[in-house]
Structure 1
């Protein structure tokens, strides 16, 4: 059901023709990069956390990792990732297909600066065998994000 909701959302916004579905899994950054035919860094992965009883989704580049110091500096809390069950219940998508499209109300979405390095990025579309090609600006518009934030590190950066 999550794919259908995400696809319908993108279709209503005029981006349904950008959605790709695959006969293979795209559930991880590496698998998604192979399915899409791009480098792993361009996969916009969705990381989900609980902050003050509020589910939060951060989309970041596929090669980025949460920097705990930056996360705590921004949210004033230690990063606590949601479990797979919590992701399903609170976000509305299953792990492997998490995206900001067609999600449950009350989820705060943020975009990490690590995505701005690329002209095109590829978030999932609600299933473990889908993706959608977007510019970072389109992702910002379609995700309903609260803001661009800097809470990740990319491989070239030191911890």
Structure 2
């Protein structure tokens, strides 16, 4: 039981609790470079319902977060067009870690070190439940997708590409 208590202590879950957001914890065996394919398999859920947290930057190197279905990629060209930027590209892992305070593979959009704009693929908001990183490798939380707009003020975008 002590292990479970320890898992829940992240900046992400602290923020969810502060906002009184109901969530369920889902620890799993983390695999390096396994991504959402592994977490979906380990939890026995559809990868489309597992949401990845991607840290990107615009042409001025301003960071932003994109929330995308686990089984999709981000069209950076469509994202840039959606948010009115010239270009968007993924941040290098060490830069992403500096912005968020989370290790790559354990990045949550909740409880980041630096406040950043958050964009969510619009179709994610239509799902009943999503599984998103809880702020540590091998740890997802399940929440209602509306929490993304209510707590993070995430703006809907259309930039998904099928993997």
Q: TM-score, normalization: structure 2? A: 0.82
Counterparts of 1:104 and 1:18, CA distance in 2:
23
With 73-82 and 97-106 compared, the bigger mean Cα shift is at: 73-82
Counterparts of 2:103 and 2:9, CA distance in 1:
10
Closer/same/farther in 2, CA of residues 98 and 21 from structure 1, 3 Å limit = same
Unmatched tracts of structure 1, length 5 or more: none
SS at match of 1:32: helix
Residue deviations 1:51-80 (CA, integer Å, cap 9, x gap): 123110000111121123312312422221
Counterparts of 1:81 and 1:13, CA distance in 2:
29
Closer/same/farther in 2, CA of residues 20 and 138 from structure 1, 3 Å limit = same
SS at match of 2:89: coil
SS at match of 2:30: coil
- Larger strand proportion, structure 1 or 2? 2
Residue in structure 2 matched with residue 4 of structure 1 by the alignment? 10
Counterparts of 2:27 and 2:99, CA distance in 1:
24
Counterparts of 1:144 and 1:2, CA distance in 2:
23
Residue in structure 2 matched with residue 116 of structure 1 by the alignment? 125
Counterparts of 1:10 and 1:153, CA distance in 2:
29
Closer/same/farther in 2, CA of residues 2 and 105 from structure 1, 3 Å limit = farther
Task: Tell me if 1:133 matches 2:111.
Answer: no
Q: Provide the aligned C-alpha RMSD in A.
A: 2.3
Counterparts of 1:96 and 1:3, CA distance in 2:
17
Residue 7 of structure 1 contacts residue 16 of structure 1 at CA under 8 Å; is this kept in 2? no
Counterparts of residues 6-155 of structure 1 (less than 5 Å): 6-15=12-21, 17-22=23-28, 24-25=29-30, 28-51=35-58, 52-74=60-82, 75-145=84-154, 147-154=155-162
